[in-house]
Structure 1
Amino acid sequence: MTTEWSQWPRRHSRAVDVIIAVLLCALATYASRVTDLGNGQGPIVARPASLAVFGLSATASLALLARRRFPCAVLTITTVCGIVIGALGFEVSVATTGAAFVAAYSLGLWSADLRTAKIAPAISGGALLITSLFHHFTPILTGGRVSLIAAILVAGAFAEAGRNRRNYLAALHARAELAERTREEEARQRVGEERLRIARELHDIVAHHMALAHAQASTAAYLLRSQPDRAQEMLDQLAGTTSAALRELKATVGLLREDDSDAPLEPTPGLAQLPELLTSFERTGLTLSLSITGVPRPLSSGVDLTAYRIIQEALTNVTKHAVTATATVRLVYSRQLLTISVLDDGTEAAEHGGGEQDSDSQGYGLIGMNERAVSVGGHLHAGHRPDGGFEVTTELPLEPPHTPDREDDPS
């Protein structure tokens, strides 16, 4: 209830202006009847109501209705009306010239020129103060003149406080807008990162299964006439490969949907599924060997998935590009790092146009593997071996990188 009443003047500013204008006109008209005889008895009602004072007060009060749009012009009109009231022989006081001080406050609050907002009210107050001296010069420091000086100071103080509050609220609003834009930009950045992650997943899944499917289909076509039983077995494996590809694609693309599906998705692949991965490549005729050095340790989900995908992509490149039938996967666990090496002999690759490095330079395989490694704080190196063949080596941290908080920063 209190909040609603506090917001009422702001929501009904025109009604507030009308009420102020009526009250100031009535106050000035009544104050024109009051005079101070200087006998120590104080002000008394000694005059009838003046039609001229009423007209001047009404003019000044009506001008206040435009004080928000034309504050400087309104201050000029109200000051002139106050001076004319004093020239007619009436006392110049806060009561008779109250409209001028309301206009001074409005100018200090809404004027775009700060210099004018500070100087013009002082000039207006000084002119009214000088006009009051023409009524009776002595004593100089009467209660009416002191009230004029106080009114000038109070109007300036209220205007400055109102301007500071308005600037403060504008700054808060600007900061809120900036924070909102920052949140939107951060959200767009996260969406972009998520799209990139899904694109990497799709690339790895499609490249892996398409390479296997191509190898199985080629082998089946080669064995179809000479060994139909082997060809049938290879075709059965091809059906399983395509089914696995569809399941992984469904699981990955299903992350983009908002509806909750009752169908369980496959778990995120990791090194626990490495034997199944190697078996799928061996079905294409590739001879693989796996060596593990050190004590295997549990990995974070991000590092585990990265290790699996890098091995998958490296073996896919061997299947697609290398002229070889053997490859080796090495896992070396140290205290802080997991080193993964995928290498092939590739003795005939150079004779067929540069092998996997030339082919991958036209695609995104090595780029994707490197980005995956960097995303978890590791790094990747790929290139030809001195004794022939191609090698992909990756060093991944066993724990995700830790970014110290500001409180932990000794600087």
Structure 2
Amino acid sequence: MGTLERTRCRLAAHPLALDAALAAGVLACMIAGSFVDPRGDNGVSWGVRTPDPLALVLMTLGALALVFRRRAPRTVLALTGTVSAVECVVGDPRAPVAMSAVIALFTVASTTDRPTTWRLGLLTMTVLTGAAMLGGPLPWYAQENLAIFAWTGIGATAGDAVRSRRAVVQAIRDRAERAERTREEEARRRVAEERLRIARDLHDVVAHHIALVNVQAGVAAHVMDKRPD
């Protein structure tokens, strides 16, 4: 087994640890993004604002929920969507709490069927974008509101693409396993047929020799008295 395969096995054996590492990375990205001012005088700039305490709490809650994204993906989506909607309404300037909802939506889309992905994806996009446009402090046409719409759509689309790819790979594996089983069954059938043919040939040879012995014994009994030699 190669190094890549061993790494995959270790990661598959510790999904909770992997999700915890992902949650920590998402939290770090959200905190780093909360220092960015997208509406500065010279465009996007760093280190010009301090995250609001409520935004830090919401980012932490959203990241903590991602630790359990594989065990309860829909519940995690509901929790991250709620904290993201709260930030969309009260955040000014807004922190990137919606990143956790995008990850949760990706997880749901990659682990469920396409109709469910459409329903939950459209619901998440509508709620978050509607909260940002209608309840937030920014104008409805602000680029931050459009970004929420775009990122939630990307999360749902990417998750659905991953699910489709997994389904294709699984279908290929199933076909390969069926073909392997068919080859094994064909080999066993041919072995059984060859054994049956050998048994029939052996039966014919033995029957022929027994018939010959019987004929010879009958002839011997007939001429025993006249020609004992």
C-alpha distance after superposition, 1:27-65 (max 9, x if no partner): 323434444557564456454343332222222112112
In 2 relative to 1, CA 155–36 (structure 1 residues): closer, same or farther, beyond 3 Å?
Answer: closer
- The equivalent of 2:189 in structure 1 is 189
In 2 relative to 1, CA 114–139 (structure 1 residues): closer, same or farther, beyond 3 Å?
Answer: closer
C-alpha distance after superposition, 1:189-230 (max 9, x if no partner): 21221122112201210111000101111211222222111x
Matches within 5 A, 1:11-410: 11-12=10-11, 13-37=15-39, 41-42=43-44, 45-92=47-94, 95-111=96-112, 113-133=113-133, 134-138=135-139, 140-142=141-143, 144-229=144-229
In 2 relative to 1, CA 139–129 (structure 1 residues): closer, same or farther, beyond 3 Å?
Answer: closer
Q: Which residue identity is paired with 1:135? A: G
Describe the SS at the equivalent of 1:203: helix
Contact 1:71 1:107 in 2 (8 A): yes
Cα distance between partner residues in 2 of 1:154 and 1:136 = 25
Cα distance between partner residues in 2 of 1:91 and 1:19 = 28
Give the root-mean-square deviation of aligned CA atoms: 2.6
Contact 2:74 2:108 in 1 (8 A): yes
TM-score computed with the length of structure 1 as normaliser? 0.49
In 2 relative to 1, CA 40–6 (structure 1 residues): closer, same or farther, beyond 3 Å?
Answer: farther
In 2 relative to 1, CA 29–70 (structure 1 residues): closer, same or farther, beyond 3 Å?
Answer: same
Q: Which residue identity is paired with 2:225? A: R
Question: Offset of 1:121 from its aligned partner?
Answer: 1.9
In 2 relative to 1, CA 54–38 (structure 1 residues): closer, same or farther, beyond 3 Å?
Answer: closer
In 2 relative to 1, CA 5–151 (structure 1 residues): closer, same or farther, beyond 3 Å?
Answer: farther
Specify which structure has the bigger relative contact order, considering alpha-carbon pairs within 8 angstroms and separated by 6 or more residues.
2
In 2 relative to 1, CA 9–43 (structure 1 residues): closer, same or farther, beyond 3 Å?
Answer: farther
C-alpha distance after superposition, 1:80-124 (max 9, x if no partner): 01112233334446x33211000111111002x432222212221
Question: Offset of 1:9 from its aligned partner?
Answer: 6.0
Cα distance between partner residues in 2 of 1:148 and 1:7 = 38
Higher helix share: 2
Q: Which residue identity is paired with 1:152? A: T
Describe the SS at the equivalent of 1:183: helix
Cα distance between partner residues in 1 of 2:53 and 2:9 = 34
Q: Structure 2: which 5+ residue stretches go unaligned?
A: none
Structure 1 runs of 4+ aligned residues shifted over 6 Å read none
Higher strand share: 1
Describe the SS at the equivalent of 1:138: coil
Question: Offset of 1:24 from its aligned partner?
Answer: 1.7
Question: Offset of 1:146 from its aligned partner?
Answer: 3.1
C-alpha distance after superposition, 1:164-187 (max 9, x if no partner): 111111111110121122112212
- Sequence identity percentage: 32
Cα distance between partner residues in 2 of 1:86 and 1:45 = 21
Aligned residues: 224
Cα distance between partner residues in 2 of 1:10 and 1:152 = 31
In 2 relative to 1, CA 76–172 (structure 1 residues): closer, same or farther, beyond 3 Å?
Answer: same
Cα distance between partner residues in 1 of 2:162 and 2:218 = 83
Cα distance between partner residues in 1 of 2:5 and 2:189 = 42
Question: Offset of 1:139 from its aligned partner?
Answer: 6.2
Cα distance between partner residues in 1 of 2:142 and 2:51 = 27
Cα distance between partner residues in 2 of 1:50 and 1:141 = 20
